[in-house]
Amino acid sequence: MPQYFFNTSNGSPHIDDAGMELPDIGAARREAIRYGGSLLSDDPDMVMQDNGFRIDVVDAAGGHCFAVRVVIED
C-alpha cells in the first residue's frame, strides 16, 4: 500500500515523519480531512494565523499529492 505523509502548517511547519499507509489517493484525501478536523476541533485558534491552516500531503517519494487549506476571509 502507498504511504502518505501529512505535513501541517499554521505559521510554523510540522513535518510528519511517520506517515500512514492507505490504499489510494482517495483514502488519503479523506484522512487529511479527518485529521485536519480533529486538529481544528482541539484548537480552533490555529486557523487564525495569517496564512490559515494547511495540510500538505506528500507520497513516500516526496512528491506533492494535494493540500487541504482552511482560511478565514473577511
Query: Residue 37: helix, strand or coil by DSSP?
Result: helix
Separation between Cα atoms, residue 47 and residue 19, nearest integer Å: 23
pLDDT in tens, 7-32: 999 878 899 999 999 999 999 999 99
Separation between Cα atoms, residue 17 and residue 34, nearest integer Å: 19
With bands split at pLDDT 50, 70 and 90, how would you rate the model's confidence at 73? Answer: confident
